[in-house]
Amino acid sequence: MLSENERNRIAAEAAHFPDRRAAVSEALMIVQDERGWVSDEAVAEIASALDLTREEVEGMATGFELVFRRPVGKHVIMVCDSVSCWITGSDSLFAHLKERLGIGLGETSADGLFTLLPAGCLGLCEQAPAITVDGEPYGNLDAKKLDDILSRIKEGRHGDSAH
């Protein structure tokens, strides 16, 4: 069941469009914001709230990179693997993070803190290689800077390095 809060937030978004179904993208992110991810059950609940079929909502849920269809850790690390970051060393960022966190791509660390995902171009090409953590961008990275970021996040000082 959608919570009252979720229902209200979705209804507020739907009111802005001439056709309610246009709010499906917002609805998915509202549910993800409240629950951390979008389960099959949540897909069905959104479908019923917006008078859509499950398949129509599923089509949207699987069509976007930032909709998580499995539970994720407390922090989501997205490593850009597109051309500028690949040239400047995204492969070594992946290798370092996999080793430090003891996980592969798409997995969550045993302490539940971090999920590691690849990302299509993050638009930070002049600061390549780059990542985002919970949407916060970090650029010009190497192994040492990655370690600093991980420790800062563990200490709860996320986003301090933002310019």
- Which stretches of the chain bind another protein, using CB under 8 A? 16-19, 21-26, 28-29, 50, 52, 56, 59-60, 63-67, 81-84, 86-88, 119-128, 132, 135-137, 163
Q: Least distance to another protein from the beta carbon of 46, Å?
A: 11
**Residue 126 to residue 92: CA distance in whole angstroms:** 18
**Cα–Cα–Cα angle for 2, 3, 8, nearest 5°?**
95
Between 83 and 110, name the residue whose CB sits nearer to another protein.
Answer: 83
The backbone region for 148, taken as left when phi is positive above 0, alpha when psi lies in -120 to 50, beta otherwise, is alpha
Of residues 94, 43, 102, the one with CA closest to residue 73: 102
CB of 43 to another protein, least distance (A): 14
Between 36 and 100, whose beta carbon lies closer to another protein?
Answer: 36
Bridge partner list, 79: 118, 131
Nearest approach, Cβ of 112 to another protein (angstroms)? Answer: 23
Q: Please, which residue, 2 or 27, has the CB nearer to another protein?
A: 27
CB of 55 to another protein, least distance (A): 10
Which CB atom, from 64 or from 112, has the smaller least distance to another protein? 64
